[in-house]
Chains A and B, each alone.
Chain A
Amino acid sequence: MAKLVGQNYTPPDHVAKVTGRARYAEDFRAEGMLFTKLLLSPMPHARVRSIDTSAALALPGVKAILTADDLPDLNGAERALTNEPLYAGEPILAVAAVDELTAAEAVERIQVDLEPLPFVTDPIESLRPGGPNARLEGNAWGPPMPGGGGPGAPAPLQTIKWEAADFGEDEDAGRLPMGKALEEWSYGDLDAGFAAAALILDETFVTQSTAHHPMETRSAMAYWQNGKLFIHASTQSVAQTRGNIARWVGIEPTDVMLICEYTGGGFGSKGGGAVSMSIPALLSKKANAPVMMRITREEESYIGRGRTNLTGRARVGFAKDGRITALDLFIVQDTGAYGPLGDHRSAGLAASLIYQPPAMRWRAVNVLTNTPPRSQQRSPGPMQANGIVEPVITKAAKQLGIDQVQIRRMNSPEGQALFGPVQPNGQRNHVTGAFVKEALDRGAEVFNWEARKARAGQRQGSKVRGVGVTVGPHGAGSIGWDSIMTIRPDGKLYVQSGVGNLGTHSVMDLARVAAEVLDMPWEKVEVIWGDTGKHLPWTCPSVGSQTTHGMTRANMAGAEDARRKLQELVALEMGGSPADYAVGGERVYDRRNPGVGLSFAEAARRAIRRGGKFDGHELPEDINPMTRASATALAGLGLMGVAKDTYPRDGATYGFVIGFAEVEVDIETGGVTLVDFVGVGDVGTVINPRSLVAQIKGGACLGIAHALFQKSVVDPKYGVSLGDRFHYSKPLTILDIPRSMHTEAVGLPDPGTPVGAKGVGEPPVGAGYGAVMNAIADAVGVDVFRRAPVTADIILMSLENGRRMHEPLRAHV
C-alpha cells in the first residue's frame, strides 16, 4: 500500500463545502412545508395530567399537534415527546403550523396541567438515605442484562440508597463516600499490591458534564411519499440510523429514506441519529404535509445530549521507583434522565489499560438525575478516567521525585498488553498492539520536554509556567462490517459508503483503500454516500473511533472480492486460470503477457453479460440483509465487489494519543494561558495524514476546553439548566489555543488488522484534558484542584487560602 493510503488528497465534497452548496438538514425545502415548535417542560420532573389544545387549534394556520400519545411505545426507552418529563426542557408536544411564528404562538396558547414530582440534580444527593429518586421506577441502572438485551430491552432500573454511615468522615474530608456499588470487578491481589506500596494516595476528582453542542443542531425535515418516510436529518451514521428511525416512528426500515449528505458535527450526540427525528416524521403524517423542525441552540442544550459526569475516587499504590502496585477505583456516574450509558465501565477498562496496575478493583454506581440526557461524547469514559487518575499520578511522581514522562512510560502498556478483568473465557482481554512508549519518546523529543521542564515553576512577575503529559486511550476499531463496490462500463470504481459525513473524512477515506487494492487512480473513483435510497452497505456507526478500522477492513474485503472476480472473469473469457492474471493500471491482464487482458470498462461489460456473482445477481451468504438488499438493487450495473470483513483479529483495538502541554498561570488573576501543545498518536497506519493531524488537534482541543472552561451548570433548587447558550457552556475559541499546535503519529501499523489502520478521533480528548490539568498542577501545586474545569476562581481562591477552595463533591456547579 503506498499510492493512495498515507497520501493527502482533497475529499470530493470539499468544493461543495466552501461554496455553500453542501446542503445540511435545514437547507432542504418541500412544497407546502409546515414548521413546528416544541413545548418544553419547565419542570425537572412532572406528570402531565391534561393538555388543553383548543385555543391553539383555533388559531388560523395551525395544522396538527403531536403528543406522546401519538408516538410508538419504545419499551420504556426515551421517546421524542413525553407525558412524564424527566428534565427541565424535555419536549412534551409539538405544533405544526404554516409558519414558525404561528407555531410558537400556538404553543403559548396550550394549557398543560403538570403535577410536579420529586426531582434530584446531583447523583450523590440521590444516594443519601431518603434522597429523591430521579424516576418513579428508581434512581440507578444496574449492570447490563445478560446477553445485552438489545435496543428497547426493558430497563433494569433499581433504587439504591447508601447508609448515613457511608457518608460521615469521607464526605467531611471531601472524599467520595463509598457505599454499596452496583457493579464491580477486580483482578490480581489488591491487598498485596497495597502492602507492597511505598506510597499510597487516595484522591477524589469530579469530572464535569458538558453539552455536545455540534454547530448544526438536530434540525430535521420530513415528508411522506408512496407510504415511505423521506427525512432530511443530521446523523453520524447514515446506514445505522435508518433502523433507529423506523423503530422511533413505528415503520419498517425499508420504508425509511434517510438523506444526510452533510452532518454539522455530532461528537457522539448523533451517533445513531436522534430520537427527536420522529417528531417531524409523525407530525408530517398527521398534518399530511412536509414538516420542518428547526431546533434552536437553546433546545439543543436540552435535547442535544451531554457527557456523563463522573465523580471518581482513586486509591493508588506506588513502589519507590514509581511502578503502580495497585489501583482501587470507585465511580459514581451521573447518567442524566435517561441512559444507561457505559462511560463508567469504559473508564475502568481504560484505567486498567493505560496505567497497567498488576492488581485492580473497579466499583461503580450509575445514578440517574433530572438533568438533560447524556450520550456518548467524544471519548466517553477513558477521558474521564484520565481526569480522575492523572492528578494521583502527577502527585505521586512529585512525591517520589520521578519525572512525569518516566512514571507514565514505566506504567504504560506495551505490545499485546492485558487489561480489565478476567473474561468469561477465563482470560484477561488484551489489545491488538500498543506503541505507547514509542509515542511518549517521540512526543518528549518534539515537545522538548526536558528544556521546558527546567523552566517550569519559575516565577516571572505574576506568571508561572508548568508542563504536563497524559496518555489518552480509546477503543479504536470494530470488525465484521460489509462493503459494496462496482466497476462500471464507464471504467470507474463506484464505492458505496454508509458512513456519516461528519467531517472526519472517513466517509471517503475508506474508498481510498478499495482503490489502492484495485490499483485504481483516485480520479476514477466515485464515492456514493449520504442517502439510504442510494443502496448502502451495512456499515459501522461512526462512534467510538471505529470507522477507519472497521470500514477499511470491510472495503479491503470488498476490493479483494472484486479483484478475485476480475481474475476469474478474464480466465473464463480468455482461458487459463485466474492466478495467471494480475490487476493493475485499470486492467486485468496476463502476468506473462501483459498485452493480453481486459480493461476495467470491458470487464464490467462482460461481467454484466455473464451475470451471476460477477454483477451482483448472486451474493455471498454471510452479508447483512441491508447489504443484500442494496447489492440486489445495484446488480447488473457492473462488476461487483461485495463482502463482509472476516479478517481475523486477536484482541481489542485501542488507539493512544500522548498529549504534552505547557501552561502559564497568572497567580494574581488565576488565568491560565495554554502556551504550547504537542500530540503524538499511536493510531496505526495513517490513511489520510492531513485529516489525521486535524483529528488529534480537534480532539485535544475538546479536552483542553474541558480542562479550562467547559461545563454545564444546573440550578439544584429549580432543577433547570443554566447553560442553555454557547456563552454559558464556554466552548473553546480560536483565541484560547496556542498560535500553532503540532500533532503527528508514529505511524506504526496495528498488528491486528490487514490495513494497519485504527481510529484516532477520541484518544486525543483525554490527552488534552489530562495534559493541561497536569501542567496547571505543575505550575501552581498538585493539591490546588480536584475538579474540572480548573477555572480562574478555583486557582485564585485556593492559592490565597493555602488549601483547596472548591465544592469537593457537588455536580453541575
Chain B
Amino acid sequence: MPERRAVVASKVGLHARPAALFAKAAADQPVEVTVAVPGVDGGPDRGPVAASSILGLMTLGAKHGEEVVLAAEGEGAEAALDSLAELIAQAADA
C-alpha cells in the first residue's frame, strides 16, 4: 500500500485546530487515508486512524517532531498522500 512518512511540524502537535484543518483536507481527498504513529524502540504502533476523523487524529496524540505514517490505496492515492504529507510537515499554527 502506498505510504508517506512526515514529521509533525505543528508546535502543539496534531490537536484541536491543526487536527480540524487536517481532517477537513483529508475528507476532501478521493481516497480513504489512514494515519499511524510508528512505535519507537519496539513499542507498539499507535493507530492507524482515519485521517478524516478529527477525534481519531486527536486520540492519536501525535506530538510536535513525531513521525507519522500516512497510507492510502486506489486511484489518486499517491497525489492525496503527497498533499496530506505536505500539510503535516507544514506548521498549521497561525
* Same complex: no
